[in-house]
């Protein structure tokens, strides 16, 4: 398989105006991802599937990720004049990164027997604008998994053929996989409390037979 840098360069040549970059994952050694803007994600997905040398014809899974607001520390080189001479120093600066939601697609080529390629697209933020492009029109296997990301993270997949909850009920008002999700304290309605749930139920009523 070509390197992600080579694939990103080919995408830039094939899809006008696209923003495609390669991002390393510090948590997983030697694993990098291809990050594309949501406005061109569908065109990029079609290119990855149809380009003869790539043929990523199978999406094995779609994963949602919630990134909270964060303050990142970065080391920068600055120049200062000390005693009449210019010197270079290393400083640590802080940069605020607004939160966003992300969908990661794991792609393989069954025809050419290579992969995985991890394709990511990100929302503008995690509150007002949580839209991403649905890639189900390219990989039908993404249909239920995009619904799961919609249900649990609140990612709205534009162009999805049947975007509705798949695990939670229609009246459920929140997204259980968000990092700031607050679990409701409704354990007084738990009919058979046990283990950790038993401790939470005790706050509401005595449990028969409990020590």
Please tell me the pTM assigned to this model: 0.83
What does the alpha-carbon distance between residue 53 and residue 41 come to, in Å, rounded to a whole number?
Answer: 19
Phi-psi region of 77 (alpha: psi -120 to 50; beta: other; left: phi over 0): beta
The pLDDT tens digits of the residues spanning 152-200 come to 999 999 999 999 999 999 888 899 999 999 888 777 777 787 888 888 8
CA torsion through residues 56, 144, 128, 125, sign:
negative
Which domains are delineated in the chain? 4-66+101-172 (3.30.460.80), 181-211 (no CATH)
Angle at 74 between CA 41 and CA 118, to 5 degrees: 25
List Cα–Cα distances, 125 to 69, 99, 102, 154, in angstroms. Answer: 9, 6, 10, 11
* pLDDT average, residue stretch 73-97: 86
The pLDDT tens digits of the residues spanning 71-80 come to 988 888 888 8
Which alpha helices (DSSP H) does the chain contain, by range?
Answer: 4-14, 41-50, 143-153, 195-202
């Amino acid at each position: 398989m070509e390197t992600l840098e080579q694939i990103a360069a080919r995408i830039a040549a094939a899809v006008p105006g696209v923003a495609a970059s390669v991002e390393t994952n510090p948590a997983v050694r030697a694993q990098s991802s291809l990050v594309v803007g949501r406005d061109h994600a569908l065109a990029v997905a079609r290119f990855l599937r149809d380009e003869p040398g790539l043929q990523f014809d199978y999406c094995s899974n779609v994963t949602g990720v919630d990134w909270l607001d964060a303050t990142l520390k970065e080391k920068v080189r600055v120049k200062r004049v000390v005693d009449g001479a210019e010197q270079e120093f290393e400083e640590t600066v802080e940069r605020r990164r607004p939160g966003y939601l992300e969908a990661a697609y794991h792609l393989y080529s069954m025809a050419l027997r290579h992969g995985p390629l991890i394709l990511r697209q990100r929302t503008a933020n995690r509150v007002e604008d949580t839209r991403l492009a649905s890639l189900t029109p390219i990989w039908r296997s993404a249909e239920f998994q995009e619904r799961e990301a919609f249900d649990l993270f609140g990612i709205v997949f534009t162009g999805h053929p049947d975007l509705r909850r798949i695990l939670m009920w229609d009246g459920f008002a929140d997204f259980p996989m968000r990092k700031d999700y607050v679990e409701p304290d409704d354990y007084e309605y738990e009919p058979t409390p046990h283990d950790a749930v038993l401790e939470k139920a005790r706050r509401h009523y005595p449990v028969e037979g409990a020590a």
